[in-house]
Homo-oligomer: A and B are copies of this chain.
């Protein structure tokens, strides 16, 4: 029987520029009396990744200041409604306000998305392997809105050790017909699943997911596999 377990991991206190996230994860695991195993997935919110990487900037608090920050992160504004901008970021993400985060930040500051979330994930995966002696996949998440559906979900903005798309194209169903809709966005489903245990408390920046099918593990990149190129996009 296929079984997946998700556990939220708490971290008390601020994350600051230069903090070693692997050390914080190790401490959080120890407090939870959990031992990470090969094949577990460590899910981490982008905010603590950004903070540890010093992606914190001054924010004056005005709408003009907010717009200036957003336009610094965006390469394109797709839609505009009041102060809400739907943007395409330098990374290729389409999200609200270019991921500039004004909540749960210190007064007078805003948090930007990591510069290269896939690279951040690879770095954290290597540090976790070094510190814990196990091979974990890493998924860095952020909260995005969607077209056509209300509400936001967490999606993966960076991965390491996980294939973000499970490609079943060319495989057939039980009746021999080619399967449709067969590139499954596993990393985004992991991110959304982790949000179910993470989103209530700002004090749980990490989650550990255990039981993911081993076929999902491997090399991958959100930027290369999940971000849809503008020229192939029917909605840009």
Contacts and interface: CB of A to CB of B under 8 A. Distances in A.
Given A94-B148, A146-B147, A154-B189, A196 B212 contact: yes
Interface in A179-200: 179-186, 188-190, 192-193, 195-200
Which of A149, A155, A166, A198 has the most chain B CB within a 10 Å cutoff?
Answer: A149
Nearest to A88: B148
Nearest to A144: B181
A67 B9 CA distance: 49
Interface string A212-236: 1101000000000111100001111
18 contacts: A1-B7, A2-B198, A2-B200, A2-B201, A4-B197, A79-B234, A94-B148, A94-B149, A96-B181, A105-B177, A147-B234, A148-B228, A151-B164, A151-B165, A152-B184, A186-B196, A188-B192, A192-B192
Interface of A: 1-10, 32, 78-79, 81, 86, 93-94, 96, 101-107, 143, 145-155, 164-166, 173-175, 177-186, 188-190, 192-193, 195-202, 204, 211-213, 215, 225-228, 233-236
A146 B145 contact: no
A197 B106 CA distance: 39
Residue from the set A148, A198, A228 with the largest chain B CB neighbour count within 10 Å: A148
Contact of A94 (B93, B147, B212): B147
Contacts of A175: 104-107
A84 to B, nearest CB: 9
Nearest to A190: B196
A182 B107 CA distance: 20
Contacts of A226: 149-151
B185 A151 contact: yes
Contacts of A179: 103-104
Given A2-B8, A200-B2, A149 B106 contact: no
Nearest to A149: B226
Given A1-B10, A104-B173, A107-B175, 20 more contacts: A2-B200, A3-B5, A3-B7, A3-B8, A4-B196, A94-B149, A101-B180, A103-B178, A145-B181, A146-B147, A149-B188, A149-B226, A150-B183, A150-B228, A151-B225, A152-B185, A153-B184, A154-B189, A192-B193, A196-B212
